[in-house]
Amino acid sequence: MKHKIAIFVLLSGIVSTLFLIEELALSITIITILTILFLAVLAIGVTTIKWNYFIKSVNRVKPGKICFTFDDGPSENTLKILDILDKHQVKATFFVIGEKCIKHPEIIQKMMKSGHFIGNHSFSHQNNIGWSSTKSVIQEIEKCNLAIENTAGYKTNLYRPPFGVTNPNIARAILSTNMLSVGWTIRTFDTQIADPQKLISKVKPRLNNKGHIVLMHDTCEQSVLALDAFIQHCKETGLEIVNLNPAEIP
Ligand SMILES: [Zn+2]
């Protein structure tokens, strides 16, 4: 919707400029500025899922609560994440990659047994998803759904686009597969910060009562220690850790 408004504003601006401004050089300058602004907004819209630029996503839970989500697994490291969650008796959502799901069905079943949610993070986590056709994104979603159903016996409707990238094709694919797009408000950058202490000191101050959905990766070793510290912090500050139940979504 926001994208359609931006297109309307751009086209109205161009038409008005052509009709109202007589000086050619000035018209060209205004149209160039409008186009650059449009492209800048478009670029941020594609890469910032919480803008809800192409599709409305769930980016928060209710105030006073917090939700931890893990992308890109399952992997051997997921077991350590599961141990930390079990130790603190809290639940999380894992956005799994379909082909890894097929490789590690026992980890998926362990997630299920511990009461965590499983979401769809595409079948192969294509690097070029931003350039994929609607049909290709639909196939990626459906193949991952099938992999989850076959390993977990569980049908998910939660979908997080790889890299959090959205565009008109991805939005159409999400709508036509009846998935619920899930974003985040806090990106931990745990794939880039290898030192767990650095990761903890960077993210912990941001874990407040604004209903954050936190993006982590169960593939990263540093995320294990960091998760332990984050949960401890939530307990100390009275933040309720919840999962992506419909009742927790504002
Ligand atoms: Zn991912």
**pLDDT tens figures, 75-126:** 999 999 999 999 999 999 999 999 999 999 999 999 999 999 999 999 999 9
Span 196-213, average pLDDT: 97
For residue 217, list its beta bridge partners: 71
Report whether 161 contacts 136 (CB < 8 A): no
Residues 72 and 37 in one domain: no
Would residue 103 count as lying in a domain? yes
Q: For residue 5, what pLDDT band results from cuts at 50, 70 and 90?
A: very high
Catalytic-labelled residue, pool 3, 71, 72, 121: 71
User: Could you tell me if residue 212 is inside a domain?
Assistant: yes
Spatial distance between the Cα atoms of 247 and 187, rounded to a whole number of angstroms = 23
- Residue closest to 161 by CA, chosen among 40, 57, 43: 57
Q: What is the pLDDT averaged over residues 217-231?
A: 98
DSSP 208: -
DSSP strand E in the chain: where? 65-71, 93-96, 117-120, 158-159, 180-181, 186-187, 213-217, 240-241
Question: What is the 39 CA–ligand 1 centroid distance (Å)?
Answer: 25
39 and 112 inside one domain: no
Please tell me the distance from the alpha carbon of residue 84 to that of residue 73, in angstroms, as a whole number.
16
Mean pLDDT for the stretch of residues 151-173:
96
Q: Is 217 among the residues known to form the active site?
A: yes
**Same domain for 126 and 14?**
no
Distance in Å, CA 161 to ligand 1 centroid: 7
Residues 109 and 37 in one domain: no
Counted domains in the chain: 2
Predicted confidence band at 154 (pLDDT cuts at 50, 70, 90)?
confident
pLDDT at 90: 97
Work out the angle between the directed axes of helices 105-113 and 134-152 (0-180°, nearest 10).
70
Q: Identify whether 226 is part of a domain.
A: yes
Query: CA-CA distance, 100 to 209, in Å (whole number)?
Result: 34
Whether residue 34 is found in the same domain as residue 75: no
CA–centroid distance, residue 217 to ligand 1 (Å) = 8
Q: What angle do CA 223, 203, 185 make, to 5 degrees?
A: 100
86 domain residue, yes or no: yes
Instruction: Supply the range of the domain harboring residue 117.
Output: 65-248
Taking the alpha carbons at both ends of the chain, their separation in whole angstroms is 20
Residues 129 and 197 in one domain: yes
**Lowest-pLDDT choice from 21-25, 158-162, 199-203, 236-240:** 21-25
Residue 1 has pLDDT above 80, yes or no: no
pLDDT interval class at 191 (50, 70, 90): very high
Ligand 1 centre and the CA of 139: distance in Å? 17
What's phi and psi for 244, nearest 5 deg?
A: -80, 50
pTM for the predicted model, two decimal places: 0.94
Task: Say how many Å lie between the CA of residue 13 and the centre of ligand 1.
Answer: 37
Q: Are residues 96 and 37 in the same domain?
A: no
Regarding whether 89 and 35 lie in a shared domain, the answer is: no
User: Percent of the chain beyond pLDDT 70?
Assistant: 100
Measure Cα distances from 18 to 9, 25, 26, 88, 163 in Å.
14, 11, 10, 63, 39
Is position 184 within any domain?
A: yes
Give the model's pLDDT for residue 137: 98
Mean pLDDT (the chain, rounded): 96
Q: Ligand 1: distance of its center to the CA of 121 in Å?
A: 7
pLDDT at position 9 over 80: yes
* Predicted confidence band of residue 64 (pLDDT cuts 50, 70, 90): very high
- In the reported structure, the alpha carbon of residue 45 is separated from the centroid of ligand 1 by a whole-number distance in angstroms of 18
Both tokens assigned to 79: 């077991």
Selected catalytic residue, list 3, 116, 217, 228: 217
In this structure, the answer to whether residues 128 and 96 fall within a common structural domain is yes
- Asked if residue 211 and residue 151 are part of one domain, the reply reads yes
Name the DSSP class of 57. -
Q: Is residue 59 assigned to a domain? A: no
